[in-house]
Amino acid sequence: MTASTIACCAPIAREPLGETEAAELAVLLKAVADPVRLRLLSMIGSHAGGEACVCDLTDAFDLTAPTISHHLKVLRTAGLIDSERRGTWVYYWIVPETVNRLGALFAPLAEPAAI
Amino acid sequence: MTASTIACCAPIAREPLGETEAAELAVLLKAVADPVRLRLLSMIGSHAGGEACVCDLTDAFDLTAPTISHHLKVLRTAGLIDSERRGTWVYYWIVPETVNRLGALFAPLAEPAAI
């Protein structure tokens, strides 16, 4: 009873998702379902000041600049990050509203009571 | 200051993810990055008693039984659901530990202070 009461608060376990919402969320999840994009997202989000220059991101990967740019574009198109050019460099930051939508979908779920 | 203090608590924005963790999480995210699998997960989680018979799941979709079975298998292989045969039917339930891992990754992120 306690477990199901708490579990009720996680949208994924509260009621069946509609087709439209499921389709939108799947697009968002596909954007993050990649190791490089997850790492880029965490590097951007954890960077001092909450934003990172593309010049801060490339060194951690054994990938070409166009490949990194492609992954950043996927994250940006999904609305997970936004960017702005300032002089030579493009700066990226996380869009919390979009990331929060994923967090709200999956949490919190209680541990189940003994079954 | 307040925003970044709160944002620190979302693992995705707290520190760069390591390669191994990012690879594991990407596998998990790929499993849920599909509209049918998201709907199946929410139907199982929200079903009375926290578990659903495969017979409860098929009617909502215009898909064949083998296709539904394939999607259930992807969720099960990823550790997002577990199942047990009882008599004629197979019953499925959510594994909260795995779903919580996704919730913890993306939440909570604060709304940004005015930029």
User: What is the average per-residue pLDDT within A97-115?
Assistant: 73
State whether A16 and B108 contact (CB < 8 Å).
no
Eight-state DSSP code of residue B53: E
Q: How many CA atoms lie within 13 A of B14 on its CB side?
A: 12
Q: Which residue has the higher pLDDT, A55 or B74?
A: B74
Q: DSSP readout, A82-103?
A: EEEEETTEEEEEE-HHHHHHHH
**Predicted pLDDT of residue A84:** 96
Q: In what order do the strands lie in the sheet with B51-53?
A: B51-53, B89-94, B81-86
pTM reported for the whole predicted model: 0.84
Nearest CA-CA distance, residue B86 and chain A, Å: 15
User: Does the pLDDT of residue A54 top 80, yes or no?
Assistant: yes
At A15, the pLDDT band (50, 70, 90 cuts) reads confident
Q: Contact A75/B60 with Cβ under 8 angstroms?
A: no
State whether A30 and B25 contact (CB < 8 Å).
no
| pLDDT tens digits along B25-84 | 999 999 999 999 999 999 999 998 889 999 999 988 999 999 999 999 999 999 999 999
Contacts of B17 in chain A (CB under 8 A): 38-39, 42
Size of interface A-B (CB pairs under 8 A): 163
Give the phi and the psi of residue A63 in degrees, each rounded to 5: -130, 155
State whether A22 and B35 contact (CB < 8 Å).
yes
Q: Contact B105/B29 with Cβ under 8 angstroms?
A: no
- Picking from B16, B42, B111, the nearest residue to A46 by CB comes out as B16
Q: Which CATH number fits domain B31-106: 3.60.15.10, 3.40.50.2300, 1.10.10.10, 3.50.50.60?
A: 1.10.10.10
Q: In what order do the strands lie in the sheet with A51-53?
A: A51-53, A89-94, A81-86
- Assigned token pair, A48: 């001092």
The ipTM of this complex is 0.84
Q: Which residue of B has its CA nearest to A50?
A: B4
- Picking from B29, B106, B111, the nearest residue to A103 by CB comes out as B106
At A110, the pLDDT band (50, 70, 90 cuts) reads low
- Assigned token pair, A66: 């166009």
User: What is the average per-residue pLDDT within A22-51?
Assistant: 95
At B110, the pLDDT band (50, 70, 90 cuts) reads low
**Predicted pLDDT of residue B30:** 98
Burial of A113 (0-12, 13-18, 19+ CB in 10 A): exposed
What residue spans define the domains of chain B? 31-106
Eight-state DSSP code of residue B79: T
User: Does the pLDDT of residue B5 top 70, yes or no?
Assistant: no
**Predicted pLDDT of residue B43:** 95
- Picking from A13, A19, A42, the nearest residue to B16 by CB comes out as A42
